[in-house]
Structure 1
Amino acid sequence: METAPPVYSNIELICQGAEARLFRCLYFGRRAILKERFVKTYRHPDLDSAITVQRLKGEVRLLTRAKQLGIHTPSIYHIDWTRRTIVMEDLNDARTVKSVIDTLIQEQNTVKLEELAQQIGATIGRLHQAQIVHGDLTTSNMLLTENGQLYLIDFGLSAYIPNKTQMLEALAVDLYVLERAIICTHQKAKHFFSNILMAYKSSISDEKQRTLTMNKYEEVRSRGRKRSMVG
C-alpha cells in the first residue's frame, strides 16, 4: 500500500530567533520557508498552546491583510496549528535590504539609495495608514527581489491597533525602531532615513493622521534621546 508523501521535506535550518526557528524546505516539491514557533516551557501547556495559536492567527491575518493593501509579502502555503508552523513562499532570488544598502554604499550609488528609501517609506506608509504596526522594522526584515520589488517579512510582532491613541504611539515607535536600526547598521547611509520619512509622509493621505503621527514620532524620539543621555 502506497503512503502519501509528506507535506514538506528536505528541511534545513536557516536561523533561530527568540520566538521561532526558520527552515528552508520543499513543500510538495516547491521551495518554501517553514517557520516554527517555540514551545514556552515556563507556561502551562494549555496556556502556551492558546497564546501561540492566537499569535499565529494574528501573523497570518496581518500578512494577508498587508498583501490585500498591495504590499508585497510572502504567500502562505500551509498552516499547522498543532505543530505551530507556517509554510510560506521562499523568495530565494531576493536579498535583504540591509545587504542591498551595504552594496549601494560601496558603489556610492546615491540615486539607487534614494529610490530604495522612497520605496520603503511608501510601503510603511501604506501599512500604517491601515492601522497596522509591523513591530520589528529593520532592514533585515525587508527583502528586495531581482526585479526591484520590496517585500516586508516577519510579521510575528505585528498588530492591528483600532484605538486611535494607542495606534499613534505604536506607529511612532515603529518609525523610531527603524530609525535606530538604520543609524546603528548603516552609519554611512547619509539622509537615508530622512528620505524614508519624506516618502512616508507623502504616502499618508489623511492629513490629520500624518500630522498626529509625526508629532508623536518626535515625542518618542525625544524620550529615546533622554534615555540615552541618562544611560
Structure 2
Amino acid sequence: MQRRNLAVPVKLWALLWAILGISLTGNVVLTCVLTAAGFLYLAVQKNWRLLGGFALFYGVLALLLYLIRYYGLHMVVFSEFYVLMFWNLSPVFLVSWDLITTPPGELAAFLSRIHMPTAVILGLLVLFRFFPTMKAELGSVGRSMRNRGLTAPMRLLTHPAASCEYVLVPMLLRCLQLADQLSVSAVARGAETPGKRGSYYERKMDAMDWCQLALWPVVTVLFLWIGGMRL
C-alpha cells in the first residue's frame, strides 16, 4: 500500500502543537492522548512501518510504567526517570521522525516556496536525511561484519577495540563518499543556478491536509483542558 505524505506545512504545524502540548501539560501520564493523535496522524499517511515500530516501543513503555507504578519496579541499567521522559516526549518523537523522513524533494519544494536561501535548504536537507542514511549504512556494515564472522559475542568481548575499528573505518569512508555524491548531485540539479527554481514535488493542500491542520489544535487544547496546564 503506497504511503501518502501530508504536506510539509501540516507536518510542521503538527510538530508545533505536539511540542506546545507536552511543554504546558500538568499531567505527564495523560500525554497518551497526544500520542494517540500521532498514531492517527501516521495511519492517515499509511506510514505503517513507523506506526508499527513505535506502537511496539510505546507498549513497552506503558508496561514499564505500569510495573513501576503498581509493583515498585526498580531497574538497574535504565532509570525510571527515562521511562517517564520517553513516555512524555513520545508525541514529539513520533511527529518529528515523520517530518525527518519526508522525501527530500517535498522538503526542498516547500522551502523554496517560502524563499529560503539555497544554502540553507541544502543544509537542512542534509541534516534531515543524516539519521536515516546513517541507519542504513550501519545496517550495511553490520551485514558485512556478520558475513565475515566478526559479530560473534566472544569476538566482540575479547577484541572490543578491533570491533570498533571494523565499524568506524567503513563508516568514515562511506561518509566521505556520500559527501562527494551530495556535492555532485546538488550541482547537477542546478543548486548553483541563480533565479527562481521549480520542483516536480510542488502540490496544493487537499481536504486531508486541512483536516489534520484543524485536528491538532483541537486535540491539544482538549488535552490541556482535561489534564491541566503547568504555567
Normalising to structure 1: TM-score of the pair?
Answer: 0.28
User: More helix by proportion, 1 or 2?
Assistant: 2
The structure, 1 or 2, with the larger RCO (C-alpha pairs under 8 Å, 6+ apart) is 2
User: More strand by proportion, 1 or 2?
Assistant: 1
The structure with the largest alpha-carbon Rg is: 2
Normalising to structure 2: TM-score of the pair?
Answer: 0.28
